[in-house]
Structures are given as structure tokens and as C-alpha cells.
Amino acid sequence: MSSAMIFRTTPTDPNIKVEVLERIGKITASSNDPRRLTILWFIENDPSEIWDEFFVPEAKMVTSGGLGEVSLMAPFIPAKMGTNTYDDMLRAPING
């Protein structure tokens, strides 16, 4: 692992005007739960190389701790700007 960033939601500010709250009303109470965490892992390896050794046990630790659950674990492989690397993975092949 290289590094990680952790984000958490904050409770709604009680001083926000009612009309502003109405505009953002599509945000459900559960998505703004102050216990929700988002962790972005910045890794140097291909995620498939370390998935079973790192990410699977990480999810099991969260679940076994009884304080939460993992909703989504999705690898991100950054594009190599200025190249066509990974283009074949972005779109379904066109069948003649």
C-alpha cells in the first residue's frame, strides 16, 4: 500500500435554510449517516495482485467487528494519459 484517504459524512448543519435543504432532499438520511466512511486506497500494485491478500481480509475485519459492513469495494486503475492503454476495457467490443 502507498497511502489511503478517509472521508466521513457530517451531520446536516442546523443553520442551513429550509429551501436549501429542500433542494438537496434527494440525499437520504442513510447516505448522510455520520458513521459512514469512504476509504480511498492509493496503491502501486495492480489490485488483482493483492485483492485476496489485502482487500478480502479488510472487508472481513470490518464485518467481524460488528460496527459496520462493506457496501462496495471497487478497484481503480488510473489511465495512462496520452495512451490507448485500457481502452479495450472501457467499451464492449463492437460485433461486426
One-letter identity of residue 90: L
Q: Which residues contact 78 (CB under 8 A, 6 or more apart)?
A: none
Which is nearest to 5 in space by CA: 76, 95, 82? 76
The whole-model pTM stands at 0.55
Ranges of the chain with pLDDT below 70: 1, 9-12, 23-35, 91-96
* Interatomic CA distance for residues 34 and 36, integer angstroms: 6
The confidence score (pLDDT) of residue 60 equals 92
The confidence score (pLDDT) of residue 95 equals 67
* Interatomic CA distance for residues 59 and 64, integer angstroms: 9
Which is nearest to 34 in space by CA: 67, 10, 70? 10
pLDDT digits (tens, 9 = 90+) for 11-20: 667 787 887 7
The confidence score (pLDDT) of residue 32 equals 55
